[in-house]
């Protein structure tokens, strides 16, 4: 039995979906444990590219049971559209299961996300405006509706009546928006969504614990990443859930001792979407070059990502937060054309050298990176298939990362395809 967790170590978009897809072939279950359709996982199989939002990456293997666990917030419309899109392209979703305890994203969540972000103006958080934050807020406030509520029309109606009255009061009296119609929401969720989603509903906590007892192999995948974590990220520029290892446990119901391996995924440089501190951010021609070579645009939103040099200070802290056993390093090939490569090994804050992530947010905003420069390899890595084929400069770069981070780099990505991931451990 192996329960493997894949966690992002930066601000997301590290290539978790690709690593999940690579390892999924050995698994029996692939489980999504938090987030919503604000996160996109891109998987390239042959010449085909698939952009997933809610469905776990293991869906491409017919023997796998893909599970959307209790920590996820689900927009039924998006989920059904994703199912239909995969089925149309010949990918079966017949094994998909959804936790009855997963919370639903409702139309008022979308509306509140849009208007609150607009009212924040220059102080906006940079959300995807897809209702994720408001859905998690309702979950914490104990007024959320869950997938299992759609199986009981009476319960769903009672809960919707109470919460919609409150949401409409906020929308009309605070934001001067039109009230949402109860009947149309009720009909859409109970008559349109429920007949297709309720047959997929399962007690996924019991399911996964039974799988552990039966020595099945389970892969846990989250959305976003460590520095978007609600508790440990660059607050308030974070997501509304916990993408870290602790969140994988609450989001699935598995226990700490069930985890057997934790793989952290990081890019060979860094990106982030939206507002927030970014000590190693770069601009100008170099930023444009990395953006285009790395195709740094959101999978779902198309938003351009900010880019910067690899930050080992933040990366090491993320490894500690998640008890990472090994690192998968992606997009090494994006750096192929560079004459030199910078890596942040510390910060200067108010004239003092600092070797750790600042605890106070104001200090992080003032942090100036201290770089160590490496020679670029100036050659195409896309055809490399094993460690021995790496140029000397690439080996030096990877060796330094391992020494600084204190954990091995087990996988290296040199291109977008499933076949372009090198197993360094073997």
pLDDT, tens digit, for every residue of 239-290?
999 999 999 999 999 999 999 999 999 999 999 998 899 999 999 999 999 9
Q: What is the pLDDT of residue 53?
A: 87
Residues of the chain with CATH 3.40.440.10: 2-100+202-262
Buried b (16+ CB within 10 A) or exposed e, 312-339: bbbbbbbbebbbbbbbbbbbbbbbbebe
Residues of the chain with CATH 3.90.170.10: 266-423
- Match 């750096």 to its residue by tokens: 335
**Out of 21, 28, 37, 41, which one is annotated catalytic?**
41
Residue scoring higher pLDDT (114 or 98): 98
DSSP-derived secondary structure for 242-279:
--SHHHHHHTT---GGG--EEEEEEESSEEE-SSS--T
Q: What is the pLDDT of residue 126?
A: 53
Of 150, 252, 145, 160, nearest in space to 198 by CA:
150
> What mean pLDDT do residues 59-76 have?
95
Q: What is the pLDDT of residue 47?
A: 73
**229 a catalytic residue:** no
Q: Which residues contact 108 (CB under 8 A, 6 or more apart)?
A: 134, 163, 164, 167, 168, 171, 180
Tell whether the model's pLDDT for residue 124 goes beyond 60: no
pLDDT, tens digit, for every residue of 363-381?
999 999 999 999 999 999 9
**CATH 1.10.300.10, domain 103-197, yes or no:** yes
Residues of the chain with CATH 1.10.300.10: 103-197
Of 310, 238, 334, nearest in space to 277 by CA:
238
Q: CATH fold of 266-423, please?
A: Adenylosuccinate Synthetase; Chain A, domain 3 (3.90.170)
The CATH number, out of the four listed (3.20.20.140, 3.40.440.10, 3.10.520.10, 3.40.640.10), of the domain defined by the range 2-100+202-262: 3.40.440.10
Across the chain, what does the average pLDDT equal?
93
**41 a catalytic residue:** yes
**Out of 13, 28, 258, 333, which one is annotated catalytic?**
13
Bridge partners of residue 45, in order along the sequence: 48
Bridge partners of residue 306, in order along the sequence: 272
Q: What is the pLDDT of residue 119?
A: 61
Buried b (16+ CB within 10 A) or exposed e, 79-111: beebbebbeeeebebebbbbbbbbbbbbbbbbb
pLDDT, tens digit, for every residue of 171-186?
999 999 999 999 999 9
Q: What is the pLDDT of residue 218?
A: 98
Peptide bond into 236 cis (omega under 30): yes
What is the DSSP code (8-state) at residue 190? I
């Amino acid at each position: 039995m192996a329960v493997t967790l894949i966690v992002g170590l930066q601000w997301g978009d590290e290539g978790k979906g690709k690593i999940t897809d690579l390892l999924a072939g050995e698994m029996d279950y692939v489980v999504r444990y938090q987030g919503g359709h604000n996160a996109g996982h891109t998987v390239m199989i042959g010449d085909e590219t698939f952009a997933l939002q809610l469905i776990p990456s293991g869906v491409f293997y017919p023997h796998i049971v893909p599970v959307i666990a209790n920590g996820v917030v689900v927009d039924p419309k998006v989920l059904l559209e994703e199912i239909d899109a995969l089925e149309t392209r010949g990918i079966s979703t017949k094994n998909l299961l959804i936790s009855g305890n997963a919370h639903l994203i409702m139309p008022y969540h979308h509306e509140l996300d849009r208007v609150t972000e607009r009212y924040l103006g220059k102080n906006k958080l940079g959300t995807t405006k897809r209702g994720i934050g408001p859905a998690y807020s309702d979950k914490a406030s104990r007024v959320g509706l869950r997938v299992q509520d759609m199986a009981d029309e009476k319960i769903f109606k009672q809960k919707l009546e109470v919460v919609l009255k409150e949401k409409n009061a906020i929308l009309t009296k605070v934001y001067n928006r039109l009230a949402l119609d109860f009947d149309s929401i009720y009909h859409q969720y109970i008559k349109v969504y429920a007949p297709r989603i309720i047959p997929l509903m399962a007690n996924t906590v019991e399911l996964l614990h039974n799988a552990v007892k039966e020595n099945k192999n389970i892969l846990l995948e989250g959305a976003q990443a460590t520095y978007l974590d609600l508790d440990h990220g660059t607050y308030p520029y974070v997501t509304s859930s916990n993408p870290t290892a602790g969140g994988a446990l609450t989001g699935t119901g598995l226990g700490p001792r069930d985890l057997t391996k934790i793989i952290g995924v990081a890019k060979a440089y860094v990106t982030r979407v939206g507002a927030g501190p970014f000590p190693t951010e770069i601009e100008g021609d170099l930023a444009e070059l990395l953006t285009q070579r790395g195709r740094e645009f959101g999978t779902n939103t198309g938003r351009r990502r900010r880019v910067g040099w690899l930050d080992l200070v933040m990366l090491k802290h993320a490894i500690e937060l998640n008890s990472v056993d090994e690192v998968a390093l992606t997009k090494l090939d994006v750096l192929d054309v560079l004459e030199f490569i910078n890596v942040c090994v510390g910060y200067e804050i108010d004239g003092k050298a600092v070797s750790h992530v600042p605890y106070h947010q104001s200090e992080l905003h003032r942090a100036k990176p201290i770089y160590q420069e490496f020679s670029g390899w100036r050659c195409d890595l896309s055809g490399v298939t094993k460690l021995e084929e790496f140029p000397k400069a690439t080996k030096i770069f990877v060796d330094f990362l391992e020494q600084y981070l204190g954990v091995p780099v087990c996988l290296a990505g040199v291109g977008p395809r499933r076949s372009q991931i090198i197993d360094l451990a073997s």
